[in-house]
Structures are given as structure tokens and as C-alpha cells.
């Protein structure tokens, strides 16, 4: 995979000033971003997250998923820790793209769960790949990670790429009445590691 670093700039956010590093996949034309906060040396286990693009959750504040909640919490956690990174990968809809994601949502509106909807459209439940993370992490100097995720596939993907995952840091946020069934499907059918306590906590009455 041919990933080219393009440029870096400051990115002020509600949680602090991050540095944004832009990358281009020369084979697909897709653009990916690494956000970094603070400094570290190559021996440190750095707090970080691999986050796949979710326009609806990240930018449009959708309550159908937990993506936007996870992104904001990850950024806050990194800022509070004083150092860390987030890789923002352009893999909308677990890799099926935005329009197909909307088609999947339509199927979910009619009773399918998130896995069944993808399969009815002819896709696997999760189409994402993670080969692009290797040059991105190399550029920002990360070799050992404390990974914020509930998804064991991301842990395995990093280890397969030669990145040492020292710790998995749970990121259980954003449950509401619109996404509770979706989260349970991710837990039971996609193997996401969520505690039973997360599902018995009261729902936010405002969502």
C-alpha cells in the first residue's frame, strides 16, 4: 500500500490544540489523517485510537451509532493524558461507503440489524482494512500503543502490522434508545468487548 505523507498543521479543538497530519493513498486516492497531541519517544506506549470515518455520527451528531461519542471521548482522553494520537481513516460505514451505509440504514429501519443489513446488500459485516496504519504510525513515531477500542479486530490488526498493543482501553460511551440494539449486535455478532454493566446502565432520558 502506497501511503504518502502530505503536510501537517495545527488543529485547535475544544480539548486543546492537536497537530493534524495528512496522508494520501496513492492507489485509491483516499485521504487519511493522524491527530497527535503532545510528544513522546519511540519506547513509550502511547494512548491512541484507530477511528474509521462516520459522517453521520462524527459530523451530523447521529444517535444511531456510538462513533461520534467515541471520537470525542478519545480526543478528550488524549488531551487529558497530555499525549496521544488518533488515526482517522476514510472507511465510512465499516468500509462500504456512505451511500451503501444509507441503504443499510434503510434496511435497519425495516427491521434488519447492522450485520444483516450489510449482508443483504452483498457485503461482509466489516469490510475495513488497516494496512495504511503502518506508515502513518511510523511517521508520528508510534511503535507501542495503549489502544482505545472495544473491537478485538483492531487489536489484532495492529499486532499483525507489528505494532505492540500494550493495553486495550475500553471506550464504552454513547448508549441511547436509538442505538442500544445496534450496540448489542456489535457485542454479540461482531465480538466487540463491552461489559454487561454497560448494557444495564440507565439510558439517558434526553436521548
Q: pLDDT tens for the chain, 207 residues: list them.
A: 689 999 999 999 999 999 999 999 998 889 999 999 999 998 889 999 999 999 999 999 999 999 999 999 999 999 999 999 999 999 999 999 999 999 999 999 999 999 999 999 999 999 999 989 999 999 999 999 999 999 998 999 889 988 999 999 999 998 998 988 888 888 888 878 777 666 656 666 556
What single-letter DSSP state applies at residue 203? P
**Predicted local distance difference test score (pLDDT) of residue 148:** 97
Residues with Cβ within 8 Å of 199's Cβ and at least 6 positions away in sequence, in order, are 175, 180, 183, 184, 187
* Residue 126 known to be catalytic: yes
Point out the catalytic residue in the list 25, 58, 66, 126.
Answer: 126
Catalytic residue chosen out of the listed positions 66, 128, 153, 168: 128
Q: Report whether 6 contacts 23 (CB < 8 A).
A: yes
CA distance 86 to 89: 9
Q: Say what the pLDDT of residue 190 is.
A: 83
Q: For residues 194 and 149, what is the distance between their CA atoms, to the nearest angstrom?
A: 10
Amino acid at each position: 500500500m502506497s501511503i504518502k505523507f502530505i503536510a501537517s498543521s495545527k488543529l485547535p479543538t475544544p480539548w486543546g490544540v492537536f497537530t493534524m497530519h495528512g496522508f494520501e493513498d496513492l492507489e485509491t486516492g483516499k485521504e487519511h489523517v493522524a491527530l497527535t497531541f503532545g510528544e513522546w519517544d519511540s519506547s513509550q506506549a502511547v494512548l491512541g485510537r484507530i477511528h474509521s470515518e462516520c459522517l453521520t455520527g462524527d459530523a451530523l451528531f447521529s444517535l444511531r451509532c456510538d462513533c461520534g461519542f467515541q471520537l470525542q471521548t478519545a480526543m478528550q482522553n488524549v488531551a487529558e493524558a497530555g499525549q496521544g494520537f488518533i488515526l482517522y481513516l476514510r472507511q465510512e460505514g465499516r468500509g462500504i461507503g456512505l451511500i451503501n451505509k444509507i441503504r443499510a440504514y434503510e434496511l435497519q429501519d425495516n427491521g434488519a440489524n447492522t450485520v444483516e443489513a450489510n449482508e443483504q446488500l452483498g457485503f461482509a459485516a466489516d469490510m475495513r482494512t488497516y494496512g495504511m496504519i503502518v506508515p502513518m504510525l511510523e511517521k508520528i513515531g508510534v511503535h507501542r500503543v495503549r489502544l482505545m477500542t472495544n473491537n478485538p479486530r483492531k487489536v489484532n490488526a495492529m499486532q499483525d502490522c507489528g505494532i505492540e498493543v500494550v493495553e486495550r482501553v475500553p471506550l464504552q460511551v454513547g448508549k441511547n434508545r436509538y442505538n442500544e440494539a445496534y450496540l448489542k449486535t456489535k457485542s454479540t455478532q461482531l465480538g466487540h468487548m463491552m461489559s454487561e454493566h454497560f448494557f444495564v446502565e440507565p439510558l439517558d432520558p434526553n436521548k
